């Protein structure tokens, strides 16, 4: 398994785990599950987090190593599975 870690300017952690049978991308969004919308198009994930109160909505995207096979959000952690 290979692991890569990056941090964006909002202090969100994005990790990529490469396995023999696929890849898992995990992102700590620091947001409530119901405030997050995720769309995947080809090899791109588009994430929108609804703002609360005076905060504006946030949108960001990142490249995936292939089309998403699964997308899950639980306790503010986004997990995207990509088959090999």
Q: Write out pLDDT tens, residues 8-44.
A: 445 568 899 999 999 999 999 988 999 999 999 989 9
Per the structure, the count of domains in the chain is: 1
Phi and psi angles of residue 60, each rounded to the nearest 5 degrees, phi first: -150, 160
Find the CATH number of the domain harbouring 15. 2.60.40.790
Higher-pLDDT residue of 15, 7: 15
Q: Model-level pTM greater than 0.85? A: no
pLDDT at 17: 95
Which residue segment(s) compose the domain that 40 sits in? 2-83
Nearest to 73 by CA among 23, 39, 41: 39
Percent helix, strand and coil across the chain, each to the nearest 5? 5, 60, 35
**Do 22 and 64 form a contact (C-beta atoms < 8 A)?**
no
pLDDT at 3: 58
């Amino acid at each position: 398994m290979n692991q890569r870690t990056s941090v964006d300017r909002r202090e969100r952690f994005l990790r990529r785990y490469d396995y023999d049978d696929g890849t898992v991308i995990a992102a700590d969004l620091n947001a409530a599950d119901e405030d997050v919308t995720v769309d995947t198009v080809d090899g791109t994930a588009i994430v929108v987090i609804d703002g609360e109160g005076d905060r504006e909505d946030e949108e960001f995207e990142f490249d995936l190593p292939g089309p998403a096979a699964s997308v899950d959000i639980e306790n503010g952690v986004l997990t995207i599975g990509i088959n090999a």
